[in-house]
Chain A
Amino acid sequence: MATALDPALGGGALMAAVASVVSIGQPAWSVRIARVVLLLAALAVLAWLLVLPLLAIFAEAFRQGYAFYLDAIKQPDTIAAVRLTFTVAAIAVPLNLVFGLAAAWSMTHFEFRGKALLGALIDLPFSISPVVAGMMLILVYGKDGWLGSWLEAHGLQVIFALPGLVLATVLVTLPFVARELIPLMQAQGSEQEEAALTLGASGWQIFFRVTLPRVRWALLYGVLLCNARAMGEFGAVYVVSGHLRGITNTLPLQVDQLYQENFSAAFAAASLLALLTLVTLGIKRVVEWRHGDALNTHL
């Protein structure tokens, strides 16, 4: 057992670590040192790269006082940006929820030609730079784009308006729900659905009573990730926004605009954005903590 190992043994830390994994007893002190050193290193990196800069955002935001902070985030343009960010997320996330479910379902329950291609396509937005995603939209929907003249003739404005922002956001957040569901559904297999089918359940019954309950926590997890990304998206919406204050500036774009004009107000808006993300992160933690087993059970 680990307790029996001679702590003075040189180079024994790794062996001891392996031993401590399989043992339940007290690990040797060299193992504890290794553990503490690794932990401190990880914490230091996190603190340096993440926590300190995050705190700096809030410190800068409040530098000119609480009243200034409130004034800054109560600016009509900033409030409009928050509202627009929620609006875009409220349209884009449900769309990707439906898409993600449909894609994951078909990927894991059916065999068809081009399945690998579909999987690769779902992953594409992960690897395409958001700037390129935005430019793709301009090339299709912009004034000189493929659909440009048709849209203009029908009085439809896509680029530099809400539809463009939604399209850009849907595009970059496309994989989140599907990628969360596919491994889980794959591991679960389709025996339960097949059983329901033989018992005479209809398609919708199977979906709502069998499939959905089994993936609901993974689904929620995917939706939260999707939402965090949707609200924080910058590159793609930057290209298609047109930067009209109070109209097509989402919160990340508003932060960028303020950064050019009013330093402290920019950080106030940035802190608001960080806060939104932290809330999402908090909800995600709660889901993991309370339902982590449901997320992993079938894996």
Chain B
Amino acid sequence: MKRQWTVLAALLSLSAAYVHAQDVKLLNVSFDPTREYFQDVDAAFKADWAKQTGQNVTVTTSNGGSGKQARAVLDGLQADVVTLALAYDIDVLADKGLLAKDWQTQLPDSSSPYTSTVVFLVRKGNPKKIHDWPDLIRSDVQVITPNPKTSGGARWNFLAAWGWAVRQPGGNADKARAYVTALYKNVPVLDTGSRGATNTFVQRGIGDVLIAWESEALMTQKEFGKDNYQIVVPSATIVAEPPVAEVDTVAAKHGTKKVAQAYLQFLYGPEGQELAAKHFFRPRLASIAAKYAAQFPAVKTFTIGEQFGDWRKVQATYFADGGVFDGITEGSQ
């Protein structure tokens, strides 16, 4: 009986049989806007690891909406590392015992090796004259942003809008709620992920302004021409801090702890930071940041810590079922 199971196990893990003893595999479960970035990182890390250890590492990266990706890891997707849009999605994994609860203290900068910020992308010549957050609630403006319930990137967008409204003179939670309610009334399509929203705006030509991460906005400009799309920097916006973590239990099971840690360290090193900057994420490393300073516009920012506290609290208040976001969209339907 036991032997039959062994045979079955061998058959089921067929793909593993092809792996050479020296080879090691790493699975990085990531979110939407990092597709191009991690394709480059995976190749660079492979070369770096081979040089250091002689070992051949194959990194596979899976992309999708951050919340959906976290769900897949919970359902058993064998991620050695996760690189998601926001800390709460990793907290969920920690709650289920997949990694230590204090994961965010294990790497520098709250485990966010790169950051971005939330900006506006408008069409050629800015025909609707969109310059700051108040313009987004004008009745003649259609806004594209994904659904914060499913997209991590969209949650940062929501918090940027909310934070700006609260920080206005005389601003408070009620005024902020009224502002974001008006804002989401102007959203004709709520995509499930940030890349879907970019496609809606760019490929399908819907909407007057895309609320996007700076990285996504700069990439769109690069791909479709600086003349065709303009970036508008609002008067205040949030620093998006996408975190990374090793999934301890999975890496331990796979025997990939060492390489998983090296992979995450690589993101903080000069090569990883330079690739981040090339893909329009703001690097943490001062030397690289200085080198690429020209490509990032000056922005006045606040962090989630300064404005809202930690992600668990933010999630419970704004995005959980029955939270603020549900309240504001119920009215519009």
Contacts and interface: CB of A to CB of B under 8 A. Distances in A.
Interface in B2-29: 5, 8-9, 12-15, 27
Contacts of B63: 243, 257, 260
B9 A155 contact: yes
Contacts of A155: 9, 13
B8 to A, nearest CB: 7
B78 to A, nearest CB: 7
Interface residues of A, number: 27
A160 B27 CA distance: 12
Contacts of B199: 259-260
B75 A144 contact: yes
Interface stretch (A119-127, A185-193, A244-252, A271-279): A244-252
B322 to A, nearest CB: 23
Given A143-B74, A160-B77, A243 B14 contact: no
Given A162-B14, A242-B72, A244-B60, A154 B5 contact: yes
A156 B72 contact: no
B242 interface: no
A91 to B, nearest CB: 11
B60 A159 contact: no
Interface string A78-108: 0000000000000000000000000000000
Nearest to A148: B76
B149 interface: no
Contacts of A244: 27, 60, 62
B64 A243 contact: yes
A247 B61 contact: no
A245 B9 contact: no
Given A245-B61, A260-B195, A142 B36 contact: no
**Which are the 10 A-B pairs with shortest beta-carbon distances?**
A143-B76, A142-B75, A242-B77, A260-B195, A160-B77, A243-B62, A244-B60, A156-B12, A244-B62, A142-B76
24 contacts: A142-B76, A143-B74, A143-B75, A144-B74, A148-B76, A152-B76, A156-B8, A156-B9, A156-B12, A156-B13, A160-B78, A162-B14, A163-B12, A242-B62, A243-B62, A244-B62, A245-B60, A246-B60, A259-B199, A260-B63, A260-B196, A260-B199, A261-B35, A261-B36
A85 to B, nearest CB: 16
Interface string A254-265: 000101110100
B139 interface: no
B203 interface: yes
Interface size class of B (residues with CB under 8 A): 20 to 34
A158 B12 contact: yes
B27, B72, B195, B196 — which one has the most chain A CB atoms within 10 A of its CB?
Answer: B72
Interface of A: 138, 142-144, 148, 152, 154-163, 242-247, 257, 259-261, 263
B42 to A, nearest CB: 10
A259 B200 CA distance: 12
Contacts of B77: 159-160, 242
Contacts of A158: 12
A260 B64 CA distance: 10
Nearest to A139: B75
Nearest to A138: B75
B35 A157 contact: no
Contact of B76 (A154, A157, A163, A257): A157
Given A157-B78, A161-B15, 11 more contacts: A154-B9, A157-B12, A160-B78, A161-B12, A243-B62, A244-B60, A244-B62, A245-B60, A260-B63, A260-B196, A260-B199
Contacts of B36: 261
A159 B13 contact: no
